[in-house]
Structure 1
Amino acid sequence: MNFKAVLMWVLAIFYAVAGYFHLASPGGFLTIMPDWVPFPRAVVLWTGVAELLGAAGLVQPWWPRLRKAAGIGLALYALCVWPANINHFAMDMARDDGGMGLAYHVPRMIAQPIIIWLALWVSGTTTWPFRPR
């Protein structure tokens, strides 16, 4: 198994676990949801479904177009949940005790665009910044 395939499986497992927790234990996700998001419980539950379906689509070996669609979907998903992560950062840092602190939130903010790119790269949607063979 090559490096790209390993990263694809790591990303799929990450999304599958996150999807499971969105469905099994939505409370923590509801607390970081921005106030302007309508129907927050439904959004959390449907994002869990999206993560599970995206993870499955990413690792299925039969349809390359489905893998690309899953990669695009997971990248868009990561982009769309970024406001919740930013909201969590702001709410957490405003706590008297500093919450989880910068050591947690700064890497999380840096990781978001990397996760977006990774979903596109491992799905074969982009080859950037690598040259195609």
Structure 2
Amino acid sequence: MHNPDKPNVTFKILLWIYALFYMLAGFNHFISTTGYYAIMPEWLPAHKFLIYLSGILEISFGIMLLFSNTRKLGAWLIMLMLVAFMPAHIYMIQKAPFMLKSIEITPFIAWMRIPFQAMFIWWAWIYTKK
């Protein structure tokens, strides 16, 4: 019988996948810093600082998801962060097509990032409920 106070196995697996995704994405800001310059709107100041800051935030929020006492806050912060990243996604749409390292970002790819953002916001929202 399922205990509503204990998350089921699928919930835990998806939670770990989501948290790991953010932690790895955050570390990528330090490993592939130059790739982020191409997707940052020119009007934003201090690109390098913002790239590192967003990496630290992604790692921190991913870790917060793993602990029940910080999960809800971590999920809300991820949703806010994803909304804050929208200008970069809009900038990519305006800039496409362009090369991001060896990958050509076509207008289609740039536009597809918006529904993925919505999906990631929804995924985070799930963790505000439990």
Q: TM-score range by the shorter chain?
A: 0.7 to 0.9
Structure 1 residue aligned with 2:5 = none
Q: Following the alignment from structure 1 to structure 2, what is the Cα–Cα distance between the partners of residues 10 and 108?
A: 19
Q: Which has the higher contact order (CA 8 A, sep 6+)?
A: 1
Unaligned runs of at least 5 residues, structure 2: 1-7
Contact conserved, 2:98 with 2:105, CA < 8 A, in 1?
A: no
Matched pairs, number: 119
Q: Following the alignment from structure 2 to structure 1, what is the Cα–Cα distance between the partners of residues 94 and 58?
A: 25
Structure 2 residue aligned with 1:108 = 113
Q: What do the CA deviations read for 1:52-88 (whole angstroms, capped 9, x no partner)?
A: 0000000124x2xx11110011111111111112212
SS at match of 1:50: helix
- 1:88 alignment partner, one of 92, 111, 114: 92
Normalised by the length of structure 2, the TM-score is: 0.81
1:56 aligns with 2:63: yes
Contact conserved, 2:19 with 2:62, CA < 8 A, in 1?
A: yes
Query: Shift in Å at residue 47 of structure 1?
Result: 0.4
Identity %: 25
Cα gap change, 1:39 to 1:120, in 2 (>3 Å): same
Query: Shift in Å at residue 30 of structure 1?
Result: 1.3
Higher strand share: 2
What amino acid maps onto 1:48 in structure 2? G
- Alignment RMSD (CA, Å): 2.0
Contact conserved, 2:98 with 2:106, CA < 8 A, in 1?
A: no
Contact conserved, 2:97 with 2:105, CA < 8 A, in 1?
A: yes
After superposition, residues 1-80 of structure 1 pair within 5 angstroms as 1-61=8-68, 63=69, 66-80=70-84
Unaligned runs of at least 5 residues, structure 1: 128-133
What amino acid maps onto 2:54 in structure 1? T
Normalised by the length of structure 1, the TM-score is: 0.79
